């Protein structure tokens, strides 16, 4: 209980310093911040004051807050009337007691009872807000700031935490990053209108995000400390207990159209989550009993096709990679529907992806790549991984599923190697240039010196690392070295090393370790590291420290840098180059031929 009180007190201190300099796009957006809160509630007297107080403490107050008292029989109404006399933006809408409210449809009916009393066009943002939450004081301001930075974000939220009933400690609820959470559905009004609002059925808070994504919007929730909040009632609980809540969730997934294989995987992943095992059994019971009974489903075949396609992509590539790929693939739909959005057409084009051998590459120039990396350093503190992949990576991914998952989960993926660039171009993908790890690192170090960012170096031998740090400080005055550690450490040191990097406050972490270790290690620890930019750079430390001489520019421009490295280290590299290059030529060549031959068929169908 003491931990919960400490956590709640920290919520009232808005950590806006973590949302540093806004991006160039954010500065161009008109910061209109009229937001409408609508809160359906019934018998919430036990939690109500916590929510009312936390909204009253917001750094940007709502333009209007409508609380719909849906037939409460406890002291809810009296508490609301007390606060309505103090808060000028609080309005109460009363509904008659119609007996026990049906969770899901009943909540949304009460929501619309409040929405019908206003003109939605008078507001920029809309939030369906539960009345059993304790929000940080800067919550809504930071959500709006994030949406102003990217006009494609249609709905967003922070992450809920709750007190574990047995351990008594605060733990995060299980909720995906690709959904705004149901208890604080914060929407851009334009997006809310386009998806047709909320469905009046269980799983309304999943259908809405998938519909938004289908139309090209971005739906998300972010686990950033300044926007974490306390959920005073456990997730999936109901008046009849957690079993009933989980069974209801299973029916909701069935109703939405979730693929059976996907839901089996979801249930398996959630086995350890509270309540362990029994929660997953209840979810599957709700899903498959609904299926056997032939209960009706959400009547939109196009939506169900999109949903299952997305879910199968999640099973193949992982949810993070599948979401990024889907968002990139649907960007054109959004921009076609919003030509006057004010988004930079150049930035839009640069957001396109180019696929090769199961990896989606960002088609950015070096300048654009550096700018995007710096944007990530300025955004709310959250970990992002940058992958620079060459032909060797693509071949190794075929044999190493863990490496494949780590690479596909990268927030930015660049073609490091002319063989990859040439193959992408030959298959009809537009790639402006290669973005090598060593060049990207050098550019980012220079920018870090100019902007006084903190960097951490991990990897290489101690003498290489010492020289690299000395040269970095000499060449980039103003840079702050947050820390450094050589690459010789055991598995028993991983946890303490991660904590050391996290405590350093680094903006950039450069990992000079070999593949596949650097990719899998960075992905495994990415969330705990809490470093805005994590870049695996392989042997770049040795090059920048001057221990290995790089190929001349003219050799690099011809795409023959690999031959230079082979001449320098023949015993180390000849076997790898022979096997990997041969394998890459075969599989990349097959993919190029397939795409070239299939292109007329694709054009004919379209």
User: What is d(CA 37, CA 189) in angstroms, rounded to the nearest whole number?
Assistant: 12
pLDDT at 474 over 70: yes
Write the burial class of residue 286 (CB in 10 Å: 0-12 exposed, 13-18 middle, 19+ buried).
buried
Instruction: Single out the residue of 88, 90, 231 nearest to residue 157, CA to CA.
Output: 231
pLDDT at 171 over 70: yes
The encoded tokens of residue 210 equal 């998938």
CA-based radius of gyration for the chain:
26
Average pLDDT, stretch 391-409? 91
Cα distances from 208 to residues 224, 253, 323, in angstroms, run: 23, 13, 15
Instruction: Give tens-digit pLDDT for 329-361.
Output: 888 889 889 887 665 544 444 456 788 888 889
User: What's the confidence (pLDDT) of residue 169?
Assistant: 83
Average pLDDT, stretch 423-435? 85
User: What's the confidence (pLDDT) of residue 24?
Assistant: 34
Sign of CA dihedral 443, 446, 452, 458: positive
CB 153 within 8 A of CB 147: yes
The encoded tokens of residue 149 equal 């930075």
Average pLDDT, stretch 354-382? 88
CB 110 within 8 A of CB 70: yes
User: What's the confidence (pLDDT) of residue 4?
Assistant: 45
User: What is d(CA 568, CA 562) in angstroms, rounded to the nearest whole number?
Assistant: 10
User: What is d(CA 25, CA 245) in angstroms, rounded to the nearest whole number?
Assistant: 42
- 575 contact partners, CB below 8 Å, separation of at least 6: none
In whole angstroms, what separates CA 485 from the centre of its chain?
A: 29
User: What's the confidence (pLDDT) of residue 342?
Assistant: 61
pLDDT at 307 over 90: yes
Which CATH number, 3.40.50.150, 1.20.1600.10, 3.90.550.10, 3.40.50.300, labels domain 2-234?
Answer: 3.90.550.10
CB 429 within 8 A of CB 591: no
Instruction: Report the half-sphere exposure of 357 (CA within 13 A, side-chain side).
Output: 27
pLDDT at 384 over 50: yes
CB 160 within 8 A of CB 181: yes
Task: Identify the DSSP state of 13.
Answer: S
Specify the long-range contacts of residues 73-82, CB closer than 8 Å, at least 24 apart.
73/43, 73/97, 74/43, 74/45, 75/45, 76/41, 76/42, 76/43, 76/44, 76/45, 76/48, 79/45, 79/48, 79/49, 79/52, 80/48, 80/52
Residue bearing the bigger pLDDT, 425 or 210: 210
CB 421 within 8 A of CB 415: yes
User: What's the confidence (pLDDT) of residue 210?
Assistant: 96
The encoded tokens of residue 110 equal 């009460």
Helical segments of 121-217, H only? 139-149, 189-194, 204-214
User: What is d(CA 276, CA 460) in angstroms, rounded to the nearest whole number?
Assistant: 42
* Element of type H or E holding 249: helix 242-256
User: What's the confidence (pLDDT) of residue 560?
Assistant: 67
User: What's the confidence (pLDDT) of residue 100?
Assistant: 64
User: What is d(CA 94, CA 472) in angstroms, rounded to the nearest whole number?
Assistant: 65
User: What is d(CA 93, CA 109) in angstroms, rounded to the nearest whole number?
Assistant: 13
Average pLDDT, stretch 441-459? 95
User: What is d(CA 422, CA 392) in angstroms, rounded to the nearest whole number?
Assistant: 15
Residue bearing the bigger pLDDT, 86 or 591: 86
The encoded tokens of residue 143 equal 């959500």
pLDDT at 90 over 70: yes
pLDDT at 460 over 50: yes
Average pLDDT, stretch 498-526? 95
Q: What is the rounded average pLDDT for all residues in the chain?
A: 85
Task: Kindly indicate the confidence band of residue 323, based on its pLDDT and cuts at 50, 70 and 90.
Answer: confident
User: What is d(CA 472, CA 378) in angstroms, rounded to the nearest whole number?
Assistant: 21
User: What's the confidence (pLDDT) of residue 345?
Assistant: 44
pLDDT at 15 over 70: no
Helical segments of 489-569, H only? 494-504, 517-529, 540-544, 553-557, 561-568
Task: Write down the pTM of the prediction.
Answer: 0.65
CB 198 within 8 A of CB 181: no
Residue with tokens 């103003």: 478
Instruction: Give tens-digit pLDDT for 242-292.
Output: 788 789 889 999 999 999 999 999 899 888 876 778 889 999 999 999 999
**Partners of residue 127 on adjacent β-strands:** 37, 186
Task: Identify the DSSP state of 351.
Answer: T
Instruction: Report the half-sphere exposure of 477 (CA within 13 A, side-chain side).
Output: 0
User: What's the confidence (pLDDT) of residue 329?
Assistant: 81
The encoded tokens of residue 31 equal 């910061």
What is the pairing mode between strands 170-172 and 160-163?
antiparallel
CB 442 within 8 A of CB 351: no
CATH 3.90.550.10 placement within the chain: 2-234
For the chain, how many helices (H) and strands (E)? 27, 19
Instruction: Single out the residue of 542, 407, 570 nearest to residue 467, CA to CA.
Output: 542
What is the pairing mode between strands 359-362 and 353-356?
antiparallel
The encoded tokens of residue 402 equal 């863990």
Q: How many residues does the chain have?
A: 606
Instruction: Give tens-digit pLDDT for 480-509.
Output: 999 999 999 999 999 999 999 999 999 999
User: What's the confidence (pLDDT) of residue 103?
Assistant: 63
User: What's the confidence (pLDDT) of residue 14?
Assistant: 39
pLDDT at 606 over 80: no
Instruction: Write phi, then psi, for 483 (nearest 5 degrees).
Output: 165, 170
- 231 contact partners, CB below 8 Å, separation of at least 6: 132, 133, 160, 161, 162, 173, 183
CB 172 within 8 A of CB 221: no
What is the pairing mode between strands 480-485 and 353-356?
unpaired
């Amino acid at each position: 209980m003491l931990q919960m009180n400490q956590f709640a007190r920290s919520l009232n201190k808005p950590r806006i310093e973590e949302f540093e300099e806004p991006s160039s796009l954010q500065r161009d957006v008109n910061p209109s911040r009229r937001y409408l809160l609508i809160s359906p509630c019934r018998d919430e007297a036990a939690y109500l004051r916590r929510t009312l107080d936390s909204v009253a403490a917001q750094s940007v107050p709502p333009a209007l807050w409508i609380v719909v008292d849906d037939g409460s029989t406890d002291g809810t109404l009296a508490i609301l009337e007390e606060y309505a006399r103090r808060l000028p933006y609080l309005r109460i809408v009363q509904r008659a007691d119609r007996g026990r409210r049906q969770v899901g449809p009943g909540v949304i009916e009460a929501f619309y009872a409040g929405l019908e009393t206003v003109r939605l066009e008078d507001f920029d943002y809309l939030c369906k807000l539960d009345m059993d939450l304790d929000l940080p004081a800067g919550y809504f301001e930071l959500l709006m700031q994030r949406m102003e930075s990217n006009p494609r974000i249609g709905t967003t939220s922070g992450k809920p935490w709750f007190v574990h009933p047995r351990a008594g400690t605060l733990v995060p609820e299980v909720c995906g990053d690709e959904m705004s959470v149901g208890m604080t559905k914060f929407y851009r009004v334009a997006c809310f209108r386009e998806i047709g609002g909320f469905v009046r059925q269980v799983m309304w808070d999943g259908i809405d995000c998938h519909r938004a994504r289908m139309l090209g919007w971005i739906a998300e929730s972010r686990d950033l400390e300044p926007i974490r909040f306390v959920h005073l009632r456990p997730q999936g609980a109901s008046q009849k207990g957690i079993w009933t809540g989980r069974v209801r969730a299973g029916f909701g997934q069935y109703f939405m159209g979730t693929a059976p294989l996907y839901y089996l995987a979801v249930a398996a992943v959630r086995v350890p989550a509270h309540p362990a095992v029994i929660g997953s059994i209840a979810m599957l019971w709700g899903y498959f009993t609904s299926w056997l009974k032939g209960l009706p489903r959400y009547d939109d075949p196009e939506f169900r096709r999109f949903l299952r396609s997305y879910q199968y992509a999640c099973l193949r590539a992982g949810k993070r990679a599948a979401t990024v790929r889907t968002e990139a693939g649907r960007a054109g739909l959004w921009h076609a529907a919003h030509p006057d959005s004010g988004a930079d057409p150049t930035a839009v084009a640069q957001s396109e992806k180019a696929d090769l051998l199961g990896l989606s590459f960002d088609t950015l120039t070096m300048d654009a790549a550096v700018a995007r990396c710096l944007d990530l350093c300025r955004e709310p503190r959250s970990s992002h991984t940058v992958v620079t992949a060459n032909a060797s990576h693509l071949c190794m991914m075929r044999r190493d599923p863990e490496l494949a998952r780590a690479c596909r989960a990268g927030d930015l993926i660049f073609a490091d190697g002319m063989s990859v660039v040439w193959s992408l171009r030959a298959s009809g993908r537009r790639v402006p240039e290669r973005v090598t790890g060593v060049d990207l690192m050098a550019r980012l170090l220079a920018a870090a010196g100019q902007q006084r960012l903190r960097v951490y170096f991990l990897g290489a031998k101690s003498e290489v690392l010492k020289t690299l740090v000395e040269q970095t400080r000499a060449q980039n005055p103003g840079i702050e070295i947050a820390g450094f550690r050589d690459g010789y450490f055991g598995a028993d040191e991983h946890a303490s090393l991660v904590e050391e990097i996290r405590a350093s406050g680094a903006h950039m972490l450069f990992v000079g370790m070999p593949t596949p270790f650097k990719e899998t290690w960075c992905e495994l620890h990415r969330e705990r590291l809490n470093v805005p930019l994590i870049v695996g750079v392989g042997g770049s430390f040795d090059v920048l420290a001057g221990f290995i001489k790089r190929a001349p520019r003219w050799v690099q421009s011809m795409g023959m840098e690999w031959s230079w490295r082979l001449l320098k280290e023949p015993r180390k590299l000849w076997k790898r180059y022979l096997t990997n290059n041969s394998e890459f030529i075969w599989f990349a060549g097959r993919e190029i031929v397939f795409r070239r031959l299939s292109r007329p068929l694709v054009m004919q169908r379209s």
